Amino acid sequence: MSELLSKVAEILNAPESLVQRSAEARAEASGKSVDEVLQSWAGGESVAAVEKTVEEPAPVEEEAPVEEEAPVEELATTDESSIDIQKDDDEEIVQLLIEEELVEAKKESSFALLMGVIGVVVFTYLFAFSIPKQQSEDLVLESLNNSVRVSEEILEGATIYNQLNCQSCHTQNVRVLIPDSQNGKVLKNRFANKNLILNTGLLRLAPDLSTLASREPTNDGVWLKKYLTDPTSVKEEIPHPSINFLNEQDLDYLITYLLSLGSTNE
Amino acid sequence: MKIKIFPKNEQEFSKFFIVLIPFLFLLFGGISLAKESYFLFVNILPQNNVFNYGFLDKLNNHITYSLLLSFLIVFLTSYLLPKTLGRRLVIFPIFFLTSLGVIGLESLDLLLGFLFPNNFYSFGNTSYTMIFKVLIFFAFVGLLSINILAKKEASMFISAQYLFGAAIFYGLSLIVYRGNFAVFSDNFFINSIYVSTHIYVGYSFVFLALLHFMTTKGINGTLYSKTLGSISFWGYLFLLPWTNFKFYFGSVLPNWIENISLYLSLSLALPLLAVTVNFFKTVTTRTEENKIIYGLISFSFGVFVVTNLFQIVSSLSNIIPILSLTNFEIAIRYGYVFSSILISIAFIYYLIPKIFGREVKFTRLESLTVLIIKIVVAGTLFSNALIGIISGYSWNAGANAGNPTIYGEGFGLLWSLISTPLSVNLFLSLLLLLPFFLFFISVMKALVNGEITEAETVELTEEELPV
């Protein structure tokens, strides 16, 4: 039988297991043996599909028409009409195989998939964003012991700093120096404004500015103005853009903000 | 070449993207070059509100991470979703208008950026365009859901799953983008979750959707295992959104979330293994032997694997101090973006005959395009990873020496070390323009002069929604 099965599988270009299952299904439906079904498929002759006739009492001669039991050898000499029948039968078998595959694949539920994905999204939003964010805010609120007042000029300067995207290269307190301090060292009042919070560097390519106002010569407003409008006047090779397109007032705000950057861990 | 302004079906809509995406690649390449130039030659280039590194960096971020991604998601949805569901898109006119809304609002942001450069691309954005973006994107996700529920195919093709995942996480990232800043750690929370949901999930899912389509339909392979496909899908869906917190290790974030991020990043090895086995087993069954398309698919997969390895390596606790919060993370972002770009090129080559009925002749032009882009991608990943390691090491050495800031002499030392790879970056971004330009020429040549071939005919059902 296995040889026959292989032959049929080759003819139909389908996996053996699938062909066998289909043959068994057809055999059961037609009341024939599996071998007979396979032989008929191998020879191109179909076994009558009698699913409907099984339910309805039918005359004996209709259940197994003599014409359909043609031997394989006879196929070689059959006329064109029998070749057509053979093609139809092949198509029918292939259709049966395809249908069987589809029946197997029907287990997947798109509703379950959507619910699963939405579940992961909600889980992520709650546990990776909303809850820990709230937790951090609560910790900071509990540790408000060193409030710093920020003037309007400093906030204006911080906004300009942010708009110029200075934080793309510069850092400010990227890493807490005392690891255990966690959120307790960060003060709500000091960083309550979005523009101040955003002034945190990511690339760490340019110098850290968190202690800018406590160092020479950057603690000098006149020096800063000269440097920002024409960096090459300070050092020829310095890779810093010249901020000469800002108006006088905005430049002053920016410098006021920079001079407010004192010690780390504020 | 005929493109209708108001397409009647998904296939006509896809034509629009085949023409437009090469333009977007050129725009991406051009802005990258301008950004790198303004970083390195800042003293000799004119400065104003638009032409300065700060603005160009924001512009580059917007084009790379928002504009290009939104176009790719809409493009893939309009072409792949009907294929994978076995039916025409439900209420296509509404889908078309929603898609236009998604890509239109991202384009509008770009335009407004030039008009109001100071308010461009900043987190915590509460502008009206941002609110509209959230609303329209959720309408888009809703349409995707309706289509998936109304599928005609018995099984769910993996590409559709990835597309849905990419779209829904894109929507989530837009909500996060508008997050409220109250305390310092909020900045890190919003940055982390935005980068991981928008860039990591968004781009990697676009890539994986295309990978599963191209390895099966593109090169006529048979998917090795649906189970492995599901493992990789659920694995990446669950793990990737958590992977960016590790770059803030030791910062003001709660310790538990930093640690979870480390472990979940290490766990990326599991879906990576599943997708790797599936890929290699699937491509061995391929019957289509197009070297250009197969080369692009396999190279993009290589880039994706390397990017995942970067993620895994950067979550090893001994290496964390050197790699966290440096350009190393930029290398990871580029990895996801470039893997999607590479496979999109293969996808467009595959689609031109299918949709436009024009044959693509793979000549020296196409071979050269692919060769150069491979060199640029490999070089960019290596260069950015190297800059990340150097800057992280310098910072760490400075902190151990008692000075946590890279300042004065310290910065001079760092600059001398990284200026060479930064110059390489500039050269690579200049070189990147060449393959994008050649790709653009190649697509236009095929569309205008390509030999006429049989286009794909859509044979999808158009039945009413099941009640």
Q: What is the CATH number of the domain that holds A203?
A: 1.10.760.10
Tell me: do A174 and A208 sit in the same domain.
yes
Work out the minimum CA distance from A53 to partner chain B, whole angstroms: 29
Give the per-residue pLDDT at B322: 83
Tell me: do A69 and A115 sit in the same domain.
no
Instruction: Please indicate, yes or no, if residue B457 is contained in any of the structural domains.
Output: no
User: Chains A and B: how many Cβ contacts under 8 Å?
Assistant: 207
Tell me: do A81 and A11 sit in the same domain.
yes
Tell me: do A184 and A235 sit in the same domain.
yes
Q: Looking at the DSSP assignment, which residues form a beta bridge with residue B87?
A: B461
Give the per-residue pLDDT at A85: 55
Residue A68 pLDDT grade (very low, low, confident, very high; cuts 50, 70, 90): very low
The answer for residues whose C-beta is within 8 angstroms of residue B227's C-beta and 6 or more apart is: none
Domain that holds residue B90: 10-449
Q: Say if the Cβ atoms of A128 and B257 lie within 8 Å.
A: yes
SS3 state of residue A12: helix
Instruction: Please indicate, yes or no, if residue A250 is contained in any of the structural domains.
Output: yes
Q: How far apart are CA B137 and CA B155, in angstroms?
A: 26
Percent of the residues in chain A that have a pLDDT greater than 90, as a whole number: 14
Domain that holds residue A127: 108-142
Tell me: do A163 and A92 sit in the same domain.
no
Which of A139, A194, A202 faces B181 most closely, judged by CB atoms? A194
User: Which chain B positions have a beta carbon within 8 Å of A214's beta carbon?
Assistant: none
Tell me: do A252 and A159 sit in the same domain.
yes
A239 and chain B: CB distance < 8 Å anywhere?
yes
DSSP at B155? S
pLDDT less than 50: residues of chain B: 464-467
The answer for residues whose C-beta is within 8 angstroms of residue B335's C-beta and 6 or more apart is: B303, B304, B306, B307, B310, B381
Tell me: do A8 and A69 sit in the same domain.
yes
Q: How far apart are CA A239 and CA B38, in angstroms?
A: 10
Q: Say if the Cβ atoms of B241 and A124 lie within 8 Å.
A: yes
Average pLDDT of span A21-45: 70
Tell me: do A72 and A137 sit in the same domain.
no
Instruction: Please indicate, yes or no, if residue A27 is contained in any of the structural domains.
Output: yes
The number of distinct structural domains making up chain B is: 1
Tell me: do A34 and A56 sit in the same domain.
yes
Instruction: Please indicate, yes or no, if residue A265 is contained in any of the structural domains.
Output: no
Mind listing the pLDDT tens digit for each residue in A34-52?
Answer: 777 777 676 544 444 433 3
The DSSP result for A81-108, as a single string, is HHHHHHHHHHHHHHHHHHHHHHHHHTT-
- Whichever domain contains B276, its CATH number is 1.20.210.10
Tell me: do A190 and A124 sit in the same domain.
no
Instruction: Please indicate, yes or no, if residue A68 is contained in any of the structural domains.
Output: yes
Which of the given ranges, A30-34, A61-65, A231-235, has the highest pLDDT on average?
A231-235
ipTM confidence: 0.90
Test the A interface: residue of B183, B325, B403 with most A CBs within 10 Å: B183
Q: A29: exposed, middle or buried (C-beta count within 10 Å: 0-12, 13-18, 19+)?
A: middle
Q: Say if the Cβ atoms of A108 and B182 lie within 8 Å.
A: no
Give the per-residue pLDDT at B169: 96
Q: How far apart are CA B170 and CA B179, in angstroms?
A: 15
Residue A218 pLDDT grade (very low, low, confident, very high; cuts 50, 70, 90): confident
Instruction: Please indicate, yes or no, if residue A266 is contained in any of the structural domains.
Output: no
Instruction: Please indicate, yes or no, if residue B33 is contained in any of the structural domains.
Output: yes
The answer for residues whose C-beta is within 8 angstroms of residue B295's C-beta and 6 or more apart is: B370
Give the per-residue pLDDT at B199: 95
**Residue A1 pLDDT greater than 70, yes or no:** no
Mean pLDDT score across all residues of chain B:
89
Which of A108, A114, A197 faces B145 most closely, judged by CB atoms? A114
Test the B interface: residue of A99, A113, A123 with most B CBs within 10 Å: A113
**Residue A59 pLDDT greater than 50, yes or no:** no
DSSP at A128? I
Give the per-residue pLDDT at A233: 84
Mind listing the pLDDT tens digit for each residue in A6-19?
Answer: 777 776 667 777 77
Distances (CA, A) of B218 to A126, B82, B154, B159, B222: 39, 16, 22, 13, 11
To the nearest 10 degrees (0 to 180), the angle between helices B68-85 and B10-40 is 150
Give the total residue count for chain B: 467
Instruction: Please indicate, yes or no, if residue B2 is contained in any of the structural domains.
Output: no
Instruction: Please indicate, yes or no, if residue B466 is contained in any of the structural domains.
Output: no
The number of distinct structural domains making up chain A is: 3
DSSP at A233? G
User: Which chain A positions have a beta carbon within 8 Å of B330's beta carbon?
Assistant: 203
**Residue A221 pLDDT greater than 70, yes or no:** yes
The answer for residues whose C-beta is within 8 angstroms of residue A25's C-beta and 6 or more apart is: A96, A100
User: Which chain B positions have a beta carbon within 8 Å of A168's beta carbon?
Assistant: 53-54, 57
User: At residue B87, what are phi and psi to the nearest 5 degrees?
Assistant: -155, 160
Residue A55 pLDDT grade (very low, low, confident, very high; cuts 50, 70, 90): very low
Cβ neighbour number for residue A193 with a 10 Å cutoff: 18
| Residues B69, B202 contacting (CB under 8 angstroms) | yes
Instruction: Please indicate, yes or no, if residue B465 is contained in any of the structural domains.
Output: no
Residue A212 pLDDT grade (very low, low, confident, very high; cuts 50, 70, 90): confident
Q: Say if the Cβ atoms of B168 and A121 lie within 8 Å.
A: yes
Tokens 């971004």: give the residue: B429
Global pTM reads 0.82
**Residue A79 pLDDT greater than 80, yes or no:** no
With CA atoms as reference, report the closest residue to B450 among B378, B383, B351.
B351
A178 to chain B: closest CA residue: B250
Instruction: Please indicate, yes or no, if residue B427 is contained in any of the structural domains.
Output: yes
Mind listing the pLDDT tens digit for each residue in A157-209?
Answer: 988 988 888 888 887 754 443 333 333 344 444 555 677 777 776 677 788 78
Tell me: do A179 and A251 sit in the same domain.
yes
Instruction: Please indicate, yes or no, if residue B1 is contained in any of the structural domains.
Output: no
Work out the minimum CA distance from B118 to partner chain A, whole angstroms: 5
Q: Indicate the helix (H) or strand (E) that contains B232.
A: helix B226-239
Test the B interface: residue of A194, A214, A233, A264 with most B CBs within 10 Å: A194
Instruction: Please indicate, yes or no, if residue B460 is contained in any of the structural domains.
Output: no
Where is pLDDT greater, at A2 or A77? A2
Work out the minimum CA distance from A97 to partner chain B, whole angstroms: 15
Q: Looking at the DSSP assignment, which residues form a beta bridge with residue B358?
A: B452
